[in-house]
Chains A and B, each alone.
Chain A
Amino acid sequence: AQSVTQLDSHVSVSEGTPVLLRCNYSSSYSPSLFWYVQHPNKGLQLLLKYTSAATLVKGINGFEAEFKKSETSFHLTKPSAHMSDAAEYFCVVSPQAGTALIFGKGTTLSVSS
């Protein structure tokens, strides 16, 4: 069965320090992987996606993620956190054609000044 696990339910960082949000996936197929962000009282917005091209994927707002097949991971990083990055982040997998996206349980990112 396909699944996605976000290893931290809550991550707290100080403004200007690096961000690391961890995601592991399980898939029998070559998956497509995504990160979505949800700001308070808003809908989800796509941050970045991996679809079997370059393993290092750059997204919006300075975020990037690296697909590591050997580790079945797709961790999200940002060199320097900004207050506006505080939000809920979802790692998502689409394991095979024609199936619905599977969302992780989310990681809440808090950024303090």
Chain B
Amino acid sequence: DTAVSQTPKYLVTQMGNDKSIKCEQNLGHDTMYWYKQDSKKFLKIMFSYNNKELIINETVPNRFSPKSPDKAHLNLHINSLELGDSAVYFCASSQEFDVNLNTGELFFGEGSRLTVL
């Protein structure tokens, strides 16, 4: 049973299109995240939700909109895709947001590689 699963694993699309990436975790965790990993493997947090509530929203263009229908799901919708959006997007979850209260462990999905042509 995959703990954190993302779909699709690969996504190739044209500039200007709208696309979504879905994420589900079956660990019973309260907090979920979206990270972006660029071509140099640098990881940067984009969003974090705790019990369906947005708690971190880094400087991300408005074209990116996370949606959490329940605490086991955190989807990422991207409007008007641009070339610079090409990256690997990782979903992750943790027991709680405050790392000092938990093990500090994030559980990552295997990533969704987005290529914008």
- Write the residues of chain A forming the contact surface with B, with a CB cutoff of 8 angstroms: 32, 34, 36, 38, 41-46, 49, 51, 88, 90, 94, 97-98, 100-101, 103, 105-106, 108
Closest to B40 in A: A105
Contact of B62 with A by CB under 8 A: no
Contacts of B92 in A (CB 8 A): 43-44
Q: Is the Cβ of B106 less than 8 Å from the Cβ of A46?
A: yes
Contacts of B56 in A (CB 8 A): 100
B102 to chain A, nearest CB (A): 10
Contact of B49 with A by CB under 8 A: no
Contacts of A43 in B (CB 8 A): 4, 90, 92, 108-111
B56 to chain A, nearest CB (A): 5
Contacts of A34 in B (CB 8 A): 104-105
Q: Which residue of A38, A41, A44, A97 is within 8 Å of B106 (Cβ)?
A: A44
**Interface secondary structure of A, over-half rule:** strand
Closest to A51 in B: B104
Q: Give the number of residues in B that approach A within 8 Å (Cβ atoms).
A: 25
With A49-B103, A49-B105, A103-B43 known as contacts, the answer to whether A44 contacts B90 (CB < 8 A) is yes
Contact of B12 with A by CB under 8 A: no
How many contacts A-B (CB < 8 Å)?
59
Q: A88-B41, A100-B48, A103-B43 are in contact. List 10 more A-B contacts (CB 8 A).
A: A34-B105, A43-B4, A43-B108, A44-B43, A44-B108, A94-B99, A97-B99, A97-B101, A98-B98, A106-B43
Pick the most buried of B41, B48, B111: most chain A CB atoms within 10 A of its CB: B41
Contact of B100 with A by CB under 8 A: yes
With A97-B99, A100-B48 known as contacts, the answer to whether A41 contacts B108 (CB < 8 A) is no
Q: Is the Cβ of B110 less than 8 Å from the Cβ of A41?
A: yes
Contacts of B105 in A (CB 8 A): 34, 46, 49
Q: Is the Cβ of A32 less than 8 Å from the Cβ of B100?
A: yes
Q: Which residue of B100, B103, B108, B110 is within 8 Å of A97 (Cβ)?
A: B100
Contacts of B48 in A (CB 8 A): 100
B1 to chain A, nearest CB (A): 15
Q: How far is the CA of A34 from the CA of B98 in the complex (A)?
A: 15
